[in-house]
Amino acid sequence: MSQKAAARPVIRLRNNFAGISTSKNQPLHKKSNPIISRITNQSAYMSPSVQIKHRSLKVTDILTEFVAFFYGFVSGFQKNYYRGYQKIRYSYLLARIYAALKFGVFVNGKIDIKPAGKKGLGIFSATGVKKGGLAFIATGPVHIAHFGGNACYDYPNWYGIDKDTWIDIQDPYMRINHSCKPNLGIDNGRFFVALEDIKVGDELTFDYAISDDELDWELDCYCETELCNGKIGPVQNMSPERYRHSHPFIPKYFQKVYNEHQCSH
């Protein structure tokens, strides 16, 4: 990992928070997994179960989102139209408004952070979600970047939503674990939608492969579901069964990448 990445909480895609190691088989310890020390230094996370009740939208949130909008327009004026469009299209403020119209929900519900066996900590539903319902809206800024080679491990909290477009998912949602047979998929970039009825106390998971197309990226998997083959990789490497399980709640760009790969092999 780069020094920049090592200074960040590690939970997701490209390192080991959830009992996952990189394809380089590097030993994992506190230096490369700072979430360990972060947890032990925050008394709020000493409890085996911490309930997170999300506050309503505040003035500071609105101001932050208007700054993001402004940056998107500035990128457009600088003739970086794709960057500007993506930052506006996938902004958190627009996602909140769209969620209110589509799901009748303007704020996220409650989740629990609890131990999840070999995977470390995970997030669990505290309210239950019906199939097709909204579990939560991912928080975090939008980034436009392209990765290749070992650089694909440098930003472990980012997940893909479109071509070279990522969301740097924030606490507590960045603690979501992978499953090869998940109960959540992704809609409209930020919406994590239930693939099945989710009961109170169920762990919330999604298939990391539906948000990545980097052929160099691979992790070991310990989800132990019937669809698991022991590895997590890009969307091109998904089995048809795994792909169908998350479909249609897969970002459209990654659906296109998967279908093109299937047609060429």
* CB contact at 8 A, 8 and 156: yes
Residues 205 and 137 in one domain: yes
Residues 234 and 175 in one domain: yes
Residues 214 and 93 in one domain: no
CB atoms within 10 A of CB 220: 14
Residues 182 and 248 in one domain: yes
Alpha-carbon span 158 to 4, nearest angstrom: 13
Range(s) of the domain holding residue 232: 3-54+108-264
Residues 153 and 217 in one domain: yes
Alpha-carbon span 252 to 160, nearest angstrom: 11
Residues 164 and 230 in one domain: yes
* Residue where a domain terminates, one of 38, 73, 106: 106
Alpha-carbon span 14 to 1, nearest angstrom: 9
Alpha-carbon span 169 to 155, nearest angstrom: 11
Beta strands 158-162; 134-137: pairing state: unpaired
Residues 70 and 49 in one domain: no
* CB contact at 8 A, 6 and 30: no
Alpha-carbon span 148 to 151, nearest angstrom: 6
For residue 257, the surrounding DSSP H or E stretch is: helix 252-264
Query: What pLDDT does 78 receive?
Result: 54
Name the H helices within 79-227. Answer: 81-89, 92-102
> From the first residue on, what is the mean pLDDT of each consecutive set of 10 residues in the chain (265 residues)?
31 36 30 27 34 47 60 57 81 87 80 91 94 94 81 82 94 94 97 96 97 90 92 95 97 97 90
Our count of domains for the chain comes to: 2
